[in-house]
Amino acid sequence: MADIIQLLPDHVANQIAAGEVVQRPASVVKELLENAIDAKATSITLVIKDAGKTLVQVTDNGVGMSVTDARLSFERHATSKIKSAEDLFNLHTKGFRGEALASIAAIAHVELKTKTEDAEIGTHLTIEGSKVISQDPAVVPKGTTISVKNLFYNIPARRNFLKSNPVETRHIIDEFHRVALAHPSVAFQMLHNGSDVFNLPSSNSRQRIVNIFGSKTNEKLVPVHEETEILKIEGFVLKPEFGKKSRGEQFFFVNDRFIKSPYLHHAVASAYEGLMKNDIHPGYFLFLEVEPHSIDINIHPTKTEIKFDNEHSIYAMLRATVKHSLGQFNIAPVLDFERDKGFDTPYEYSKKSPTAPSIEVDRDFNPFKEKPKQGNISFPFKRDPSIGSGQGSSWESLYVGLKDETAKISSLDDIEFESEEVTGSLFENSEAETGQITFQLQNKYVVSPLKSGMMIVHQNLAHQRILYEELLKNITVKEAVSQQLLFPLQLHFSKPDVEIIEKIREQLEHTGFIFSELKDETIEISGIPVLILESHVVNLLNQLVQDIKEEVPDSGFSQNDMLAKSMAASMAIRTGVSLNREEREHLINQLFACKEPTVSPTNKPVFITLDANDIDKKFM
């Protein structure tokens, strides 16, 4: 048989290598920013267009490249950063593989302009798909500008695989944050489609965090500091009360390199033990310094994982240091999670002076009238006069002996509850009503007899399903009605979070939000969806932003769908909330008016049924 093995041409090898280095525009951003840092730049500008799909450009004022180096920099395994294998164990630079530029040039249109300090004239080089198109002398300032255009232009499959612009932008901003946080003394600027996203002057670490995440962050930071022979720890942890339900700001840097480490995360989380509820995650910005030879950063191609020689000591030291810092700032005694939940006040209300409770009475209420033609989203705590209306008629036939008791609904039931922590005792009178055909189990399930047996409905999941379908309709087809706020709500978010909200503003407005201002770090809201409480708005928006940031790649769902899911999850009645009779019936009626009553928006079963025959069997 003839020989069949041949060496792959360089451009093919480069394309294959690119698959590992460049997954998305954010990978290009990371490599270019790191190169600029390695070139000792003190000022770096990142410009992107269309979430980096059309352009990623990084300009630095670093050391620049000679004519020969400019050409060589695009060769594979061409690097100025290591010379021998030993150097791998004494790395002081971000890059060392010499692969990034070669990979990027294989799958994009690349343009390089560069000049060193002492050169008279610089170089202008253009490369497309690993082929040098032109190389000319050029008059350029000291430093380097690399423009990467039309990423994956020659690999349509990869290009199609890219996510929506908001998702790709999110990834880019994440990379930008990581590099900018690790190098506070370097000035950074970021522009997207011509407008300023970040403008970060040279500063210290605390200022850098505040400049990125918003001025409110300052008061949340607890400084951390420790220095031993094997490890130096600097940085900040967030006070426990600012922990988040979803993983928010969690940053580890080892020798100025952003890393992910579940092991070190565990060390920090365990330092918060007893200070935070289990499902709340701490925030932190921790900068660790170790001897370069005591780590191996080579175990992961995209270099966000590293291996420490002395993992256990580092774990113990990190945990102790964080614990100590939290203790020093007298945080521990303030919190007592054993206290009666009934005394909890929603955070925004703790500083307000008490006001007399208001009672909303619907004087036009007529239980026999048709449901008003509003885009209302049903929320059991704001009573909807349509209770018992025709909506769920097919469902009602399943009931045995349902008595029409709607006329008994008292206007006192229209009391609005500010906090979902309110316990069931308030409802006791109506609970005591006799003849009800539904009841609640553990403030979590609504149990109802069926002709054929019984049904157990999960109240939270059922309400999520109801809200999800309504919200989706509001976002895509018909707009919902808003309730005007007497005093506009001023909320503070970080700048990037405000941008996320700006991007989904239109959809949010369809659900009933009215934004009177959206800029920098402030959001002013003058109207909210009819059926949510003002005190829930902050949590809802926070959760929404988090969910968008963490949108699962490849989930195949549209952003509208995600939005509806996230809002439904935030707005739905929780488990632990007591429901009175007509709330329970209303919930069930609405559930069975849904298109898909059996599953929650997150694909969990909403109810189960027990057949009378199965029950009979238990007694045999």
Which residues lie near ligand ADP (CB under 6 A)? 31, 35-36, 39, 60, 62-65, 73, 78-81, 95-102, 144
Nearer to ligand ADP, 64 or 527 (CB): 64
Spell 581-598 as b/e; 16+ CB within 10 A means b. bbbbbbbbbbbbbbeebe
d(CA 510, CA 529): 9
Alpha helices in 237-278 (DSSP H): 262-271
d(CA 159, CA 162): 6
Nearer to Mg ion, 78 or 290 (CB): 78
Nearer to ligand ADP, 66 or 436 (CB): 66
Nearer to Mg ion, 38 or 497 (CB): 38
Nearer to ligand ADP, 65 or 125 (CB): 65
Instruction: With H, G, I as helix, E, B as strand and everything else as coil, classify residue 32.
Output: helix
Nearer to ligand ADP, 59 or 261 (CB): 59
| Positive or negative: CA dihedral 488, 489, 494, 496 | negative
**Identity at 530, one-letter amino acid code:** V
CB of 96 to ligand ADP, least distance (A): 5
244 binds, among Mg ion, ligand ADP, none (CB under 5 to 8 A by kind): none
CB of 303 to ligand ADP, least distance (A): 10
CB of 338 to ligand ADP, least distance (A): 53
Nearer to ligand ADP, 36 or 531 (CB): 36
Nearer to Mg ion, 35 or 147 (CB): 35
d(CA 597, CA 595): 6
CB of 80 to Mg ion, least distance (A): 10
Query: Count of alpha carbons within 13 Å of 4, Cβ hemisphere only?
Result: 1
CB of 87 to ligand ADP, least distance (A): 11
Cα-based angle 466, 469, 473 (whole degrees, multiple of 5): 140
**Beta strand pairing call for 221-227 and 232-238:** antiparallel
d(CA 578, CA 421): 10
DSSP H or E stretch at residue 27: helix 25-38
Task: Confirm if 209 and 217 have CB atoms less than 8 A apart.
Answer: yes
CB of 128 to ligand ADP, least distance (A): 17
Window 80 to 99, contacts with Mg ion (CB under 5 A): 95
**Count of residues that bind Mg ion according to CB under 5 A:** 3
Nearer to ligand ADP, 110 or 446 (CB): 110
Window 10 to 49, contacts with Mg ion (CB under 5 A): 35
Nearer to Mg ion, 177 or 303 (CB): 303
Nearer to ligand ADP, 105 or 533 (CB): 105
73 binds, among ligand ADP, Mg ion, none (CB under 5 to 8 A by kind): ligand ADP
Residue closest to Mg ion (Cβ): 95
Nearer to Mg ion, 39 or 455 (CB): 39
499 binds, among ligand ADP, Mg ion, none (CB under 5 to 8 A by kind): none
What are the two backbone dihedrals, phi and then psi, of residue 13, each rounded to the nearest 5 degrees?
-60, -40
Spell 527-560 as b/e; 16+ CB within 10 A means b. bbbbbbbebbbbebbbbbbbbbbebeeeeeeebb
Q: Which DSSP state fits 281?
A: B
Beta bridge partners of 453: 450, 611
CB of 337 to ligand ADP, least distance (A): 48
d(CA 250, CA 322): 14
**Cα-Cα end-to-end distance for the chain:** 76
97 binds, among ligand ADP, Mg ion, none (CB under 5 to 8 A by kind): ligand ADP
Burial class (CB in 10 A: 0-12, 13-18, 19+), 439: middle
With binding defined as CB under 5 A, does residue 62 bind Mg ion? Answer: no
Nearer to ligand ADP, 95 or 388 (CB): 95
CB of 327 to ligand ADP, least distance (A): 42
513 binds, among ligand ADP, Mg ion, none (CB under 5 to 8 A by kind): none
**Identity at 483, one-letter amino acid code:** Q
CB of 102 to ligand ADP, least distance (A): 6
128 binds, among ligand ADP, Mg ion, none (CB under 5 to 8 A by kind): none
Q: Beta-carbon neighbour count of residue 456 at 10 Å?
A: 14
Task: Confirm if 112 and 97 have CB atoms less than 8 A apart.
Answer: no
Q: At what angle do helices 537-549 and 559-571 cross, to 10 degrees?
A: 140
CB of 174 to ligand ADP, least distance (A): 20
179 binds, among ligand ADP, Mg ion, none (CB under 5 to 8 A by kind): none
Out of 18, 29, 100, 500, the residue judged to bind Mg ion by CB under 5 A? 100
CB of 307 to ligand ADP, least distance (A): 19
Contacts of 458 (CB under 8 A, 6+ apart): 444, 445, 575, 600, 604, 605, 606, 607
CB of 38 to Mg ion, least distance (A): 6
589 binds, among Mg ion, ligand ADP, none (CB under 5 to 8 A by kind): none
65 binds, among Mg ion, ligand ADP, none (CB under 5 to 8 A by kind): ligand ADP
CB of 460 to ligand ADP, least distance (A): 50
- Please identify which residue in the block is written with the tokens 């553990």: 442
**SS3 per residue for 315-383:** HHHHHHHHHHHHHHCCCHHHCCCCCCHHHCCCHHHCCCCCCCCCECCCCCCCCCCCCCCCCCCCECCEC
81 binds, among ligand ADP, Mg ion, none (CB under 5 to 8 A by kind): ligand ADP
Residue closest to ligand ADP (Cβ): 95
Q: Which DSSP state fits 186?
A: S
CB of 535 to ligand ADP, least distance (A): 50
Nearer to Mg ion, 58 or 567 (CB): 58
Q: Beta-carbon neighbour count of residue 79 at 10 Å?
A: 20
Nearer to ligand ADP, 102 or 224 (CB): 102
d(CA 262, CA 264): 6
CB of 294 to ligand ADP, least distance (A): 21
585 binds, among ligand ADP, Mg ion, none (CB under 5 to 8 A by kind): none
* Cα dihedral value 390, 393, 395, 401, nearest 10: 110
Enumerate binding residues for Mg ion (CB under 5 A). 35, 95, 100
